[in-house]
Amino acid sequence: MSLDLQGSFIDEAALVIMHYQVDVFDILFGGSSSPLLGKCNALIRQWRRTGRPLLFPNLSLGADHEHAPPSTNRQISPYLPAGRFRNGLPVEGLAMGPGDLLYACPRASVFHGTAVDVDLRARGVRTLVMAGISTTGVVLSSVAWACDADYDIRLVEDCCYDPDEDAHEALFRSSFGGRVLVV
C-alpha cells in the first residue's frame, strides 16, 4: 500500500490509527490474524518517514469499567458483561514506536473525554490522516467530530474495516457525507 505523502498538507498533518487494539481484533477476527494489520503497519512505516506525529487512540473504559457509559449507550454497553475494553491495549504486532502517542478513550469518538484535540493543535496539526476499526463506530464518530472542529480529513480506506460491509461501503461511497477525502 502506498499513500501519496507529497504536498504541503504533510507539514501540518498527523496519522491517527484508531482502535487497532486487542479487544477489537478478538471480537471481529476471533484472535486470528487479519490482513488489516499488515496494511496498517505498511502505512505506519511509510508515515514515519514524514517525521510527523503518530497517534494511537483506543477504547478504554478503565480496569473496573469506571468510565463505562450508561446502559443507554447502544454502541458500547453490550460489551460490558464480557469484561471488554478495560485497558485499551494495542493489538500485538502493531508497529508502534518511541514518541508515538497512545490515548485511552472512554467513548467511540477518539476526541470525547481525551486530550487528542489539544495535543494535535499544540503540534500545529490541521490535517488528519485517519484509519480505524470499525467504520460505523470509531471512524464515523471521530470523523464527524473532527470535521466540526475544522480539520482537513484524509481517510485511508484500505486500513478501515467494519463487519457491516454494506454500511462500510455506503460511508466510503458518500465520502462520509462529504466530510473526508478518501485515499
Predicted TM-score (pTM) of the model is 0.94
Q: Three-state DSSP class for 179?
A: coil
How many angstroms separate the CA atoms of 85 and 140, rounded?
19
Question: 20: which 3 cell numbers?
Answer: 487497532
How many angstroms separate the CA atoms of 93 and 99, rounded?
17
Note down pLDDT in tens along the chain; length 183 residues: 446 666 678 999 999 999 999 999 999 999 777 899 999 999 999 999 999 999 999 999 989 888 888 888 888 888 888 889 999 999 999 999 999 999 999 999 999 999 999 999 999 999 999 999 999 999 999 999 999 999 999 999 999 999 999 999 999 999 998 999 999
CB 20 within 8 A of CB 56: yes
Which homologous superfamily is 8-182 in? Isochorismatase-like (3.40.50.850)
Domain boundaries, the chain: 8-182
Rg (CA), the chain: 15
